[in-house]
Structure 1
């Protein structure tokens, strides 16, 4: 892992667009730019990864009836017991037990009326049809009583809970065949830049595409379904066709957001009649990022082309937007104390990759330039450094890497 080191000072570079949004304001704008997608009913097998759109309330008591927690004998009274028959899991309406009687029972089987406890297999002995035990089981021993886990109508999980495999299991146990969920928003990634190579070593002025492999799994980790990644040539027409033909809820572009000779994102958005919500953010790295509403209510997040600057755009704009669309609750913010001073930009927020320590500290990492990923690959999180910097020991906001 890359060793922590003091972060070099940042020289003033007021190159972002006039009127660039302060970083906290840009995050708030992205979070409120949309509403959760319309709720939908999904079979359990299709609900994984979505978010509950309504509370999950129990449709039955759990357990639905008194059951045996162990293999053994259901017994009535203090013993010894007359033994007869057996009850397996799935047997319905077992015959009641009279005082002094016992029946063989399997784990999970319904307890017969009149049973007072379950005697474990290893604690009983059968001789001549009579069951005995060195010590009689206490009342209710090894019995899972009806409603032990929940009663019908109890709220098991609240709205906004992600549907995990464990949630699917709980929902099935509680009687559900389908769940009402907020679907995962769909995303398409458009990688811009004729200088990018899909494979091999950098050569002849061309560099490897780092964002094509990086962004899709990251966006999936933020709750999105990535429809695909398209490479788009450096022409206005190619970009306009790619954006207008996309069916995704959110289009994510990489590069082309500044004012270079082949930076066409702004002009294409103007061509399409899009509405800019964020046009530049006072943050380092990544200040040329943008957020726009496309015709029909879809969104476009324009990320800078430099890899770490693009990651800054994901944390600033894509993550809060996708969280809202997916119906995810806002993550609780928390702080960590810096182990060393971290210089700041005079006017802009800085996002600095850090490692986190068990004692609650955070150490800034080297290799944090806009085009660098080495620091990110070793990082646990990003620290939010306010304009002017932060001293050693200062508590700073932490942005976790949710992937």
Structure 2
């Protein structure tokens, strides 16, 4: 990769400039759903005239991901890897998954009983021991029957399976062991899993781009595959900004625990990405941030930062991005929480997603910018799930505009907004199944709204 162009800048000058930023329009406290006094003050609440609507921000992020995917495909067609089945988990199929064999590969018994040939009664063949899975049986002549177990390969000539409870086996001195139906003969093909009834060899089972889940691994194995071709996951470097953050122990003095490092690292595989290393902690210093960003952009395709996106005295991200000649694609989104998020393209092509420092606001930023970016890079999308009704009313936010993302529990009656939804709070997130997407005007109970699922580690 080509190193990004930099220029020498005095750290003190940058810090002084940022300590006295251009004034921004004031913002009222974040609106609430329900009664949550702890969420009434939102330190992320600085608006920007450049903020784009939430839907538009997600579209821009997806477009950026598709552009990056096209460029990567043109540059590195040979990077597709052949991975043994367990190692392919979480990746995407580089090519359609085709069946290498008919499924089932041969006619099999769907029930315990007897394989019968033609109409009864039947003479029992063999020693009376049942055919079981894994054995290749001899052909069955017409008028004969043989005991069979579920899943066993049926002999050539078998026309049906007579279930155990529907047959009577008898020994007669004249004719030996005989079998007859208790009520009537089984219909032709009864309780037989016919060869190729699920698929035929060469048939496409799944399209390229499908995420490789445990179920996909099972299907691939049953269809004859030992390995799967998958492109590399987008690489992500995670930078956690802030002098106040602790990496272990209890909050003490004026310092707090870093919640986003563990949360985002564990979430990246579900989002279709791979962290290049453990989160790097970066102190509140413009030169340290510039050095960390330049290094991360050389190593990863996507850089994710937490904190430093607003206009406070120690928020240096905008100035450093300008110093690196980065192109801002999104600078603030009209959404609560998480308004001061951003998306930028760095000079050599890597993308940077700047998340707010408050944990719930950062999660909103992931769902707004990072998830669509990564999904598009992987050839899929991150659209909201179909609408679901709200279990409780979500009050409006007065004259303010903007989308609201509220953690919610998804139950049989719909989406129930959870109480602790301030931008710095994670309590509701741990109980949430989704984020309800609610307009600024609010919505009454029963109103159908889109929702963004939180599939923590799920397929």
> CA 1:376/1:74 → structure 2, altered by over 3 Å: closer, same or farther?
closer
1:230 is aligned to: 280
Matched, 1:385 2:438: yes
Aligned equivalents of 2:244, 2:51: Cα separation in 1 = 28
Aligned equivalents of 2:368, 2:312: Cα separation in 1 = 23
Deviates more, 1:300-309 or 1:81-90: 81-90
Measured after TM superposition, the shift of residue 184 of structure 1 is 3.0
1:280-307: CA deviation from partner (whole Å, max 9, x where unpaired): 1122222221111224322211111111
Structure 2 alignment gaps of length 5 or more:
1-32, 74-79
Select the structure that is richer in helix. 2
1:64 is aligned to: 105
Aligned equivalents of 1:95, 1:391: Cα separation in 2 = 69
1:318 is aligned to: 370
Matched, 1:342 2:399: no
2:303 is aligned to: 251
Three-state SS of the structure 2 residue aligned to 1:34 is helix
Measured after TM superposition, the shift of residue 254 of structure 1 is 0.7
Contact 2:114 2:145 in 1 (8 A): yes
1:240 is aligned to: 290
2:358 is aligned to: 306
Contact 1:22 1:282 in 2 (8 A): yes
Contact 1:279 1:290 in 2 (8 A): yes
Three-state SS of the structure 2 residue aligned to 1:32 is helix
Determine which of 141, 162, 171 is the counterpart of 1:127: 171
Q: Map 1:66-145 onto structure 2 (within 5 A).
A: 66-77=107-118, 78-84=120-126, 88-92=132-136, 94-120=137-163, 123-125=167-169, 127=171, 130-135=177-182, 136-145=185-194
Measured after TM superposition, the shift of residue 392 of structure 1 is 4.9
Deviates more, 1:304-313 or 1:72-81: 72-81
Matched, 1:5 2:54: no
Measured after TM superposition, the shift of residue 178 of structure 1 is 2.8
> CA 1:157/1:357 → structure 2, altered by over 3 Å: closer, same or farther?
same
Matched, 1:49 2:90: yes
1:267 is aligned to: 319
Contact 1:289 1:313 in 2 (8 A): yes
Measured after TM superposition, the shift of residue 82 of structure 1 is 4.6
Deviates more, 1:172-181 or 1:299-308: 172-181
1:395 is aligned to: 448
1:221 is aligned to: 270
1:25 is aligned to: 56
Aligned equivalents of 1:112, 1:308: Cα separation in 2 = 62
Matched, 1:373 2:373: no
Three-state SS of the structure 2 residue aligned to 1:131 is strand
> CA 1:11/1:271 → structure 2, altered by over 3 Å: closer, same or farther?
closer
Measured after TM superposition, the shift of residue 232 of structure 1 is 1.7
TM-score normalised over the length of structure 1: 0.86
Three-state SS of the structure 2 residue aligned to 1:259 is coil
The alignment yields a C-alpha RMSD, in angstroms, of 3.0
2:4 is aligned to: none
Structure 1 alignment gaps of length 5 or more:
none
Aligned equivalents of 1:225, 1:259: Cα separation in 2 = 30
Aligned equivalents of 1:95, 1:376: Cα separation in 2 = 61
Aligned equivalents of 2:395, 2:405: Cα separation in 1 = 11
2:413 is aligned to: 359
Measured after TM superposition, the shift of residue 126 of structure 1 is 6.0
> CA 1:149/1:244 → structure 2, altered by over 3 Å: closer, same or farther?
same
Q: Map 1:138-177 onto structure 2 (within 5 A).
A: 138-177=187-226
* Corresponding pairs, count: 398
Matched, 1:207 2:256: yes
Contact 1:7 1:364 in 2 (8 A): no
Aligned equivalents of 2:168, 2:450: Cα separation in 1 = 60
Three-state SS of the structure 2 residue aligned to 1:214 is helix
Matched, 1:294 2:346: yes
Contact 1:354 1:363 in 2 (8 A): yes
Contact 1:189 1:251 in 2 (8 A): yes
2:380 is aligned to: 328
Aligned equivalents of 2:238, 2:230: Cα separation in 1 = 25
Three-state SS of the structure 1 residue aligned to 2:352 is strand
TM-score normalised over the length of structure 2: 0.77
> CA 1:112/1:402 → structure 2, altered by over 3 Å: closer, same or farther?
closer
Contact 1:272 1:295 in 2 (8 A): yes
